[in-house]
Amino acid sequence: MAEEKTTRRRRKKKSTDTSSKKGSGKKKRTRTKDVVIDFDGVDPDGVVVPEGTYILVVDEATTEKGPKAKYTKWKFKTEDDEKVCNNKSVYENTSHSPDALFKLRGLLECLGVEVPDGPMALKYDDYVGLKCLGTIAHRIYEGKKQMQITGIEPLSEMGDEDDDEDEGEEDPEVVDDDTTEDDEGEDPDDDDAEGITASEIEGMNEEELTEALSDYGLKISGRIKNLKKKKAAAIAAFEEADLLDEKLH
């Protein structure tokens, strides 16, 4: 009897030892190392592009329920040459209420969608990738700056604006000969007359660019908000006025 009890104790001890070994096989959790994040230049309001006119590309469109009527929620992405202004999200809502359908119709037509005078199925998947021009302004909502679309135009209007900048009502104007003679006593058409190079214009900030245009009596369209586009328009204005010095390129 004593021998049988001893055998049972040995079995129990062996079983306990085996359980301990199994438990010790668990992987230990490794502590995540601290990560350094640089928040320099990060706007607490989120990504807000400068006010101005941008190419907008439809990224997504869905039907949502509103307090009074359903509406289409549009998500656009900006398309711009400058990286900081490119591929940024901006939203627009167009109500399905009969009194507000003019806004939805106008947006669809600016995207190039044919809208009938009657019932129409909204095929959102077909609209992804379509483009239009959108004027973006800023507003303060709950203490934070946000972007809002204040105007929509067809993409074809961008070409018309470019024509206005080069040939329209704000054509470059050159100072008359009397003003030039007062300063230097030289003919502005003289080969030795001082000009300006495209490289110099491209290296200017906004204040320097405005001053240079003023010094030469030139103007560019006031509708251009983007500095890079302003520089391109300024180069075209100097070239049109035969004041762009190509010898120094």
26: in domain: no
Number of compact structural domains in the chain: 2
Q: What tens digit of pLDDT does each residue of 140-199 get?
A: 888 888 899 999 999 887 764 444 444 444 544 444 444 444 444 444 444 444 678 888
Q: What tens digit of pLDDT does each residue of 2-15 get?
A: 555 555 666 655 55
Residues 115 and 172 in one domain: no
Strands 89-95 and 52-65, by their bridges, are unpaired
44: in domain: no
Q: What is the mean pLDDT of residues 200-208?
A: 85
Closest CA to 200 of 185, 187, 216, 186: 216
Which of 79-93, 180-194, 235-249 is least confident?
A: 180-194
Residues 105 and 182 in one domain: no
In the prediction, which pLDDT does 193 show? 45
In the prediction, which pLDDT does 58 show? 97
Could you tell me the CATH number of the domain that includes residue 67? Answer: 2.40.50
Q: What tens digit of pLDDT does each residue of 52-63 get?
A: 999 999 999 999
In the prediction, which pLDDT does 4 show? 59
Residues 151 and 165 in one domain: no
Residue 35 pLDDT greater than 50, yes or no: yes
Name residue, tokens 């949502």.
64
Higher-confidence residue: 30 or 79? 79
20: in domain: no
In the prediction, which pLDDT does 22 show? 53
Taking phi over 0 as left and psi of -120 to 50 as alpha, with beta for the rest, 144 belongs to: beta
* Percent of the chain surpassing pLDDT 70: 67
Supply the mean pLDDT for the chain. 77
In the prediction, which pLDDT does 181 show? 42
| 3-class secondary structure per residue, the chain | CHHHHHHHHHHHHHHHHHHHHHHCCCCCCCCCCCCCCCCCCCCCCCCCCCCEEEEEEEEEEEEEECCCCEEEEEEEEEECCCHHHCCCEEEEEEECCHHHHHHHHHHHHHCCCCCCCCCCCCCHHHHCCCEEEEEEEEEEECCEEEEEEEEEECCCHHHHHHHHHHHCCCCCCCCCHHHHHHHCCCCCCCCCCCCECHHHHHCCCHHHHHHHHHHCCCCCCCCCCCHHHHHHHHHHHHHHCCCECCCCC
In the prediction, which pLDDT does 184 show? 44
Residue 24 pLDDT greater than 60, yes or no: no
Q: What tens digit of pLDDT does each residue of 94-138 get?
A: 999 999 999 999 999 999 999 999 999 999 999 999 999 999 999
Last residue of a domain, one of 93, 126, 155: 155
pLDDT interval class at 20 (50, 70, 90): low
C-alpha to C-alpha distance for 70 and 93, rounded to whole angstroms:
10
Residue 210 pLDDT greater than 80, yes or no: yes
Residues 100 and 71 in one domain: yes
In the prediction, which pLDDT does 34 show? 78
- Other C-beta atoms closer than 10 Å to the C-beta of 127 total 19
Domain interval for residue 225: 158-240
Integer angstrom CA distances of residue 239 from 1, 45, 166, 171:
115, 41, 11, 12
